[in-house]
Amino acid sequence: MVELSTDLSPYEAVQYFFHDVADQLGIDDQTRAVLNGTYREIRVQLPVRRDDGGLETYYGYRVQHNGARGPYKGGVRFHPTADLDEVRALASLMTWKTALVDVPFGGAKGGVQVDPSTLSRAEHERLTRRYMSQVSYIIGKKRDIMAPDMNTNAQTMAWMMDAWGRAHGHEPAIVTGKPVPLGGSKGREAATGRGTVMVLDEAAKQHDWTPEDLTVAIQGYGNVGSWTARLAAERGYRVLAVSDVDGAIHAPDGISTDMLDKHVKEAGTVAGFEGAEDIEGDALLELDVDVLIPAALGEVINHTNADEIRARMIIEAANNPVTPVADRILTDSGVIVIPDILANAGGVTVSYFEWTQNIQEFQWSEEEVNEQLSRYMRTAYRKVRERAEDLETTMRRAAFAIGISEVAEVARLRGYV
């Protein structure tokens, strides 16, 4: 059991959500120990030669949380806060997410503790290759499959695929989110944001809201945040504010994402965009908008600011952005929270399509990818909504209940519990 408190670590926070639902499902302690604990954790030393000849030593992690439903699956992030606890938390979220959206994977995550802005491109490549070669013996298309996350992208995946292939033979299926010419899937780059907007559409339908009446603020303008902004604006939602690590912008009449993209290309940040006013990064979370979409870091909505949130709905495009205490405060004040394991599941869903295409050695069209993504996301949303209505509970508890029940059933059939 984990008691509700303001100082839970990321992994303790996910455990809190797990036990909260396991209590309701009546899961016994022995089964909990198997489902909640991690299967394998590794920490690797990564000495990397700097361009100036010096040697810098970093540390990387890979955590395989649960593989009852299939090969381990999860992204790799490069971030100064990446540590074993955070990677465990993200790995366990992947277990419940893959089960909820019903793709045949378990849950894993990787991280390298580094500030990538301090690395040249060549140093970034050497660090990526070193990380992959140090963890490569637990990676495989039927063992554990990597993908992009914060500060990693299609290029990072290409280096990883190449590094793994040099030791074990050419095998594109060991990473997803690759560049399309190397076996990546069409539609993968936009998939997480596209899935988030599909969830937004379903939520709007459920609550009888029309896109044109809904104002949206998005924290983070990287892969997930920028695609969410672009596709939401395309569907008529009024995107009023976005941010990144260097600043935040707000335009009461809406932001043109086409113009913003041009600005970001030149300036490297959303800050200073002519079509909007610069605001404080933290102020974005407290804007008077209908929908708030955190799409950057974890724990950004916590006991210090949960009371200040004015949005009617939070859609967790980031992983773990709302702490358990904040979740309680928001729920008590009637804010609807759509949890990460549903809201950002579009990424792993199209990663599954990419893996399938690699194994079949056959490429799908972008239309087919998006159509199948829509089917998976809308089915998952409907299941969560129905479960929440049946149990008269929150979308988070309903989503965890589905994920945990699926994994528990498979673990029982395999004889693990």
Give the residues lining the site for ligand NAD (CB under 6 A): 148-151, 192, 219-225, 243-245, 281, 295-297, 317-319, 344, 347
Q: Whole-number minimum distance, CB 365 to ligand NAD, in Å? A: 20
DSSP category for residue 322: B
Q: Which 3 state secondary structure label does DSSP give 218?
A: strand
The residue among 110 and 220 lying less far from ligand NAD, judged by its C-beta, is 220
Q: Whole-number minimum distance, CB 347 to ligand NAD, in Å? A: 3
3-state helix vs strand vs coil in the chain, percent to 5: 50, 15, 30
The residue among 112 and 411 lying less far from ligand NAD, judged by its C-beta, is 112
What are residue 300's phi and psi, to 5 degrees? -80, -25
Burial class (CB in 10 A: 0-12, 13-18, 19+), 220: buried
Q: Whole-number minimum distance, CB 361 to ligand NAD, in Å? A: 24
* 109 part of the active site: yes
Identify which of 36, 33, 87 has the alpha carbon closest to the alpha carbon of residue 63: 87
The residue among 92 and 192 lying less far from ligand NAD, judged by its C-beta, is 192
404-408 long-range CB contacts below 8 Å, 24 or more apart?
Answer: 404/18, 404/21, 404/22, 404/25, 404/27, 404/35, 404/96, 404/99, 405/25, 406/69, 406/99, 406/100, 406/102, 407/35, 407/66, 407/68, 407/69, 407/95, 407/96, 407/99, 408/25, 408/27, 408/31, 408/35
Q: Whole-number minimum distance, CB 246 to ligand NAD, in Å? A: 7
Q: Which of 73, 97, 109, 186 is catalytic?
A: 109
d(CA 110, CA 119): 19
Q: Whole-number minimum distance, CB 224 to ligand NAD, in Å? A: 4
Handedness of CA 240, 244, 249, 255 (dihedral sign): negative
Q: Whole-number minimum distance, CB 169 to ligand NAD, in Å? A: 27
The residue among 219 and 357 lying less far from ligand NAD, judged by its C-beta, is 219
The residue among 27 and 114 lying less far from ligand NAD, judged by its C-beta, is 114
Quickly list DSSP for 94-161: HHHHHHHHT-S--EEEEEEE--GGGS-HHHHHHHHHHHHHHHGGG-BTTTEEB-B-TT--HHHHHHHH
The residue among 32 and 62 lying less far from ligand NAD, judged by its C-beta, is 62
Active-site amino acid positions: 109
